[in-house]
Amino acid sequence: MSPVHVFADRVTKKFGEVVAVSSLSLSVEQGQFLTILGPSGCGKTTLLRMMAGFEEPTSGRIYLGGQDITFVPPHKRPANLVFQRYALFPHLTVFENVAFGLRVKKIAEKEVQRRVERILALVQLEGFGKRQVNQLSGGQAQRVALARALVNEPQVLLLDEPLGALDLKIRQQMEVELKLLHAELGMTFIYVTHDQEEAMTVSNRIVVMRAGQIVQDGTPEEIYANPASTFVADFIGHSNLLQATVLQTAPSHLSFLGGSYSARHHPGLREGQAVNILLRPEVLRVFGDAPEGFENVLKGRIVDATFKGPYVDYLVEVGEARLTAHHSVREGVSTFNRGDAIFLAWSQDDALILSS
Amino acid sequence: MVNTNTVQLRRPIRIPWLYIYSVLVIIYLFFPIGIIVLFSFNSSPAVSFPIRGFSLRWYMEVLESPVFLAALKNSLVVAVFTTFFCLSLGTLAALALTRYRFRFRPFVQSLFLMPLSLPGLFLGISLLTYFISLNLRLSLGTVVVGHVIYTLPYFVLVATARLERFDRVLEEAAQDLGCTPWQTFWKVNFPIIAPSMIGAALIVFALSFDEFLITFFVIGPESTLPMLVWSMMRKSIDPSVNAISVVLMLASLLLILFLSKVVDISEIEF
């Protein structure tokens, strides 16, 4: 285990009566790429801004590399922030923007030249130094913003929804570039976003926030496979969430969609308890005839089919409910049309019980 | 149905109305100015046609006249001081109006802009009454006070418009990159707002330089250039007035040229 690098200790931030962050503790290890994920208003940006020094916690402490930085002003912190809308200085060229931090710190001009050129090469902007920042595309502007922060070699790089303003394609490209950059520099990255796909792509650890608190903390795989609550399940990935009643606890049998089905074991259940069942679209298999070898099969009717390239998304009506199923398009696998009566099947371990 | 075989499609003759109109407006605007320029080079003292001959006589006369030079100096002094006070008071006022959300802010803002809608005559008379009731001796100083009141709204208007548009995130970015608040102002705020402020200051300078109405009421024994021209015109139509006008016009042209070189005009908004 790497040493703890950034540590928020029971941090609370109130804006008047509104509690943005509520007694939150978080420790980030050296070199981690941590994403704070949550819907807007969950306090993730406030938490990041407290780390950057733009907000002071109402109570609690923030440490960086073992030092208490809770009330250290932003210009004295060895942390740099990449802003949501780039915030490039319009009166300076690309080079001057990137050199800004170094020049403020009175670094020798020769060293400034060397470091700025190296970092511009790293973000693939060689030869852009003399450009005006208003001549840049969104993707280029974002790279300059990144370079401007990275050139200072901060102990931790804070990123506040840095890709939010970019087109999907450039965003996906930048996500990969960010990940590679992180691997190359080994710096601690703390990244804030509301986009779960982005979070899963870039980071090796995700913290999901809701209403000023952390509701789950884990690797992208863990959070996807084992969401701790209905909220997380709904927020991460596409989900079919169904209300169910526990019939039997071990093995778990539940009643939903007018039938009785089995689900993965979940500790602490009571008979008669109301829970939610999570069925990811990719665990639902679609068959024309009743299949063999599945614990759970139910009948439905296709109300919509959307071709997505590698798979087809079926919207399946089962009684009152509608479920989405990803159906892989491969040779030898039949596809279905709107109106077809079909069977949905899943195995016991793929159905997750979530306390509601 | 139109028989297209027999109908000759002729291109209609278009009368360029817009073109004609524009030329007429330009003539209307510039004809009087052209006349003055013309007469300023006339060798005869009679300000009437025909023009007798070309001469720089009126210019020589003006430039050698101590009255003119004194008035020019007074006008410059007043304009410089007016601009200085306007710049410092106006910038601070604009900062307060844009940065702080205090009670009655919209009211205070409209108070700052009120002199714009007051007639100069009214301002002049009330200032005169005010100065007299304070037992202040009328001088160039009182003129500066009057001019600051008159020009401040223009400056505050431009300055608040610019500051409203200033993206505060840039200040955070500067601090994040190691700037103290003081450094942030000089490295980020100042260079970004400076063009607008210089532009507004030049407008203030120009407004003050040829202000007449308020000056007329609150000036002491000295004379500014507009006052001088007015007094000369009262006595007789002196052709050297034409030369003065041309000199003033050239000065404002240079100012505009400088403005457009230094400042992005589109940055200045009213």
Residue of A60 and B247 predicted with greater confidence: A60
Same domain, A153 and A25: yes
Q: Is residue B36 within 8 Å of residue B42, measured between CB atoms?
A: no
SS (H, E, C) A83-128: CCCCCCCCCCEHHHHHHHHHHHCCCCHHHHHHHHHHHHHHCCCCCC
Q: Is residue A329 within 8 Å of residue A310, measured between CB atoms?
A: yes
Number of Cβ within a 10 Å radius of residue A94: 26
Q: Which residues of B touch A105 (CB under 8 A)?
A: 178
pLDDT for the residue B96: 86
Of A194-198, A352-356, B74-78, the poorest mean pLDDT is in A352-356
Q: Return the exposure string of B150-173: e unless at least 16 CB atoms fall within 10 Å of the residue's CB, then b.
A: bbbbbbbbbbbbbbeebeeebbbb
Q: Considering A172, A200, A234, which residue would you say is the last residue of a domain? A: A234
- The answer to whether residue A81 scores a pLDDT higher than 90 is yes
Residue of B84 and A267 predicted with greater confidence: B84
Same domain, A160 and A141: yes
Upstream peptide bond of B191 is cis (omega within 30 degrees of 0): no
Query: Would the CB atoms of A81 and B176 count as touching at under 8 Å?
Result: yes
- The answer to whether residue B80 scores a pLDDT higher than 90 is yes
CATH number of the domain where residue A341 is located: 2.40.50.100
Same domain, A263 and A199: no
- The answer to whether residue A222 scores a pLDDT higher than 50 is yes
Q: Is residue B112 within 8 Å of residue B152, measured between CB atoms?
A: yes
Q: Own/partner pairs for B264-269, CB < 8 Å, 24+ apart?
A: B264/B195, B265/B199, B267/B162, B267/B195, B267/B196, B267/B199, B268/B158, B268/B196, B268/B199, B268/B200, B268/B203, B269/B158, B269/B161, B269/B162
Q: Which residue has the tokens 């609550």?
A: A229
Same domain, A217 and A245: no
Token representation of residue A9? 């200790």
- pLDDT per residue over B149-198, tens digit each? 999 998 998 888 888 888 889 999 999 999 998 999 899 988 988 888 88
- Among the partner-chain residues A75, A81, A83, the one whose CB lies closest to the CB of B179 is A75
Distance in angstroms (rounded) separating the CA atoms of residues A345 and A343: 6
Of A28-42, A223-237, A319-333, the poorest mean pLDDT is in A319-333
- The answer to whether residue B266 scores a pLDDT higher than 60 is no
Same domain, A229 and A247: no
pLDDT for the residue B1: 47
pLDDT for the residue B47: 64
pLDDT band at residue B3 under the 50/70/90 scheme: low
pLDDT for the residue A92: 93
pLDDT band at residue A2 under the 50/70/90 scheme: low
Distance in angstroms (rounded) separating the CA atoms of residues A281 and A327: 9
Q: Is residue A156 within 8 Å of residue A4, measured between CB atoms?
A: no
- The answer to whether residue B2 scores a pLDDT higher than 60 is no
Helical H runs in chain A? 44-52, 94-104, 109-122, 138-150, 168-185, 196-202, 220-225, 230-235
pLDDT band at residue B264 under the 50/70/90 scheme: low
Q: Which residues of A touch B179 (CB under 8 A)?
A: 75, 104
Q: Is residue A53 within 8 Å of residue A158, measured between CB atoms?
A: no
The architecture in CATH of the region B66-236 reads Orthogonal Bundle (1.10)
Nearest partner of A220 among A209, A238, A236, A244, judged by Cα: A236
- pLDDT per residue over A108-125, tens digit each? 999 999 999 999 998 889
Same domain, A177 and A293: no
Q: Please give the average per-residue pLDDT across A302-317, as a whole number.
A: 88
Token representation of residue B64? 């050698």
Q: Please give the average per-residue pLDDT across B218-245, as a whole number.
A: 82
- The answer to whether residue A25 scores a pLDDT higher than 90 is yes
Q: Which residues of B touch A159 (CB under 8 A)?
A: none
- Among the partner-chain residues B177, B191, B192, the one whose CB lies closest to the CB of A104 is B177
pLDDT for the residue A237: 78
Residue of B14 and A278 predicted with greater confidence: A278
For residue A65, the SS3 value is: coil
Same domain, A204 and A305: no
Query: Cβ contacts of residue A179 below 8 Å, gap of 6+?
Result: A33, A201, A202
Distance in angstroms (rounded) separating the CA atoms of residues A181 and A203: 12
pLDDT for the residue B78: 94
Distance in angstroms (rounded) separating the CA atoms of residues B221 and B71: 11
Q: Which residues of A touch B176 (CB under 8 A)?
A: 52-53, 74-75, 80-81, 149
Q: Please give the average per-residue pLDDT across B46-65, as a whole number.
A: 76
Distance in angstroms (rounded) separating the CA atoms of residues A46 and B269: 35
- Among the partner-chain residues A53, A90, A148, the one whose CB lies closest to the CB of B192 is A90
pLDDT for the residue B269: 44
DSSP B109-164: HHHHHGGGGS-HHHHHHHHHHHHHHTTPPPSHHHHHHHHHHHHHHHHHHHHHHHHH
Q: For B261, list phi and psi in degrees, rounded to 5.
A: -80, -45
Share of chain A above pLDDT 90, in %: 54
Residue of B166 and B39 predicted with greater confidence: B166
Query: Strand A33-37 and strand A188-193: pairing?
Result: parallel
pLDDT for the residue B105: 81
Same domain, A124 and A248: no
- The answer to whether residue A34 scores a pLDDT higher than 50 is yes
The per-residue pLDDT of chain A, averaged, comes to 90
Same domain, A150 and A255: no
For residue A48, the SS3 value is: helix
The pTM assigned to this predicted structure is 0.76
> Any chain B CB within 8 A of the CB of A19?
no
Distance in angstroms (rounded) separating the CA atoms of residues B269 and B258: 18
Q: Which of B176, B180, B198 to mutate to test the interface with A (most CBs of A within 10 A)?
A: B176
Same domain, A70 and A179: yes
Q: Please give the tally of structural domains in chain A.
A: 2
- The answer to whether residue A331 scores a pLDDT higher than 70 is no
Same domain, A51 and A132: yes
Q: Which of A50, A55, A104 to mutate to test the interface with B (most CBs of B within 10 A)?
A: A104
Q: Which residues of A touch B192 (CB under 8 A)?
A: 89-91
Q: Considering A168, A200, A234, which residue would you say is the last residue of a domain? A: A234
- pLDDT per residue over B123-141, tens digit each? 889 999 999 898 888 888 8
Beta sheet of A4-15, edge-to-edge order: A18-29, A4-15, A59-64, A67-68
Token representation of residue A224? 């996807």
Sketch the domain layout of chain B as residue ranges: 66-236
Residue A299 DSSP class: E
Q: Which residues of A touch B178 (CB under 8 A)?
A: 75, 101, 104-105, 152
Q: Considering A234, A250, A275, which residue would you say is the last residue of a domain? A: A234
Share of chain A above pLDDT 70, in %: 98
pLDDT band at residue B48 under the 50/70/90 scheme: low
Residue A71 DSSP class: T
Q: Please give the average per-residue pLDDT across B35-50, as a whole number.
A: 75
**Number of residues assigned to chain A:** 356
- The answer to whether residue A207 scores a pLDDT higher than 70 is yes
For residue B97, the SS3 value is: helix
Distance of CA B104 to the CA centre of its chain: 30
Same domain, A163 and A267: no
Residue of B267 and B220 predicted with greater confidence: B220
Domain interval for residue A310: 241-355
Distance in angstroms (rounded) separating the CA atoms of residues B251 and B248: 5
pLDDT for the residue B270: 41
Distance in angstroms (rounded) separating the CA atoms of residues B224 and B150: 16
Distance of CA A291 to the CA centre of its chain: 36
Query: Would the CB atoms of B177 and A100 count as touching at under 8 Å?
Result: yes
> Any chain A CB within 8 A of the CB of B264?
no
Helical H runs in chain B? 17-40, 57-64, 66-99, 105-113, 120-133, 140-164, 169-176, 181-184, 190-209, 213-218, 225-235, 240-262
- The answer to whether residue B267 scores a pLDDT higher than 70 is no
